[in-house]
Amino acid sequence: MTAILTQEQSSTAPWCRRLAFFSAALLLVAGAGHRFGLVETVPFLWLLGLVCLLALLALVLGAVTLAQAWEHGVGGALEAGFGIFVALLVLTPYGISLLRVVEHPRLVDISTDLENPPAFIMAPRSRTSAMNRIDDAIGPDLAAVQKEQYPAVTGRRYEHAAENVVEVVMAMMNERGWEPRQGLQAIPAGNRTLIEGTAHTFFLGFVSDVVIRIEDDQTATFVDMRSASRYGRHDLGDNAARIKAFFEELDQRMTMLAGV
């Protein structure tokens, strides 16, 4: 009789691949659902934790498979390698977020005016107990951290009529999809105009409330902005980046308006 030798297959390789692909699919579906408002933020955060655990488990099983293939010559190394690759792709956003946690201070409320920050009027009413609370003032300790870490987050002074600045600001908020409150209606408060909106992060759609204060002192128009995350204890630098990007474009538009 002729003996037919067959290579023993690793039992962990298929599970490595399955868990890796399932974690990738769950991340894509949950992320899209949250981005388009189909999944609430708190359940989504739990799903992100589950995705991370599944991807890490896939890595462990893949490592076990590769060790078995090296020591005992069992099959499944290619399948495990593919699963490890997918799991690493899934974990890449987590690694980037961890890096941003290390790079940026632990803040969730950023303002260009730390002594008299623009006041949210409607945002506190729409926040639930599960969300971060909005305070009227920013504490001195948090203000000191912001000054040190984000010195470029400052307000602007423009030599333009306040109504022209309001028009440009409203247009920019619409273009960004920030959903200005009350049907694009500015809120007058003496010689100030407050415009509130909601901003979303690009990929996963985490929400921050934003308010822009436009003040006319008869000689110039001053613009300040505040951005506050609804969830989490760390904004990963998103709020400061949002304010800086907004003012960079506003500066360009006001410069172009001056040349007209």
Residue 85's Cα: distance from chain center in Å?
25
Which of 164, 162, 194 is closest to 180 using CA atoms?
194
In a domain, 3, yes or no: no
| 155-177: average pLDDT | 93
Cα separation of 254 and 260, whole Å? Answer: 10
Q: Clarify whether residues 154 and 216 are in a common domain.
A: yes
Write out pLDDT tens, residues 16-31: 999 999 999 999 999 9
Question: Is the pLDDT at 185 greater than 50, yes or no?
Answer: no
Q: Clarify whether residues 114 and 153 are in a common domain.
A: yes
Which pTM was predicted? 0.86
Yes or no: say if 79 and 17 are a contact pair by the CB < 8 Å rule. yes
In a domain, 207, yes or no: yes
| 118-122: average pLDDT | 90
Q: Clarify whether residues 113 and 234 are in a common domain.
A: yes
CB neighbour list of residue 18: distance below 8 Å, 6 or more residues apart: 83
Cα separation of 41 and 96, whole Å? Answer: 20
Q: Clarify whether residues 24 and 152 are in a common domain.
A: no
93-109 b/e (C-beta count within 10 Å ≥ 16 → b):
bbeeeeeeeeebbebbb
Question: Is the pLDDT at 53 greater than 50, yes or no?
Answer: yes
* pLDDT for the residue 260: 60
Cα separation of 39 and 81, whole Å? Answer: 32
Q: Clarify whether residues 202 and 137 are in a common domain.
A: yes
Write out pLDDT tens, residues 196-240: 999 999 888 999 999 999 998 888 999 999 999 999 999 999 999
Q: Pick from 56, 78, 103: which residue ends a domain?
A: 103
In a domain, 73, yes or no: yes
In a domain, 139, yes or no: yes
Q: Clarify whether residues 52 and 144 are in a common domain.
A: no
Tell me the residue range of the domain where 183 lies.
Answer: 109-258
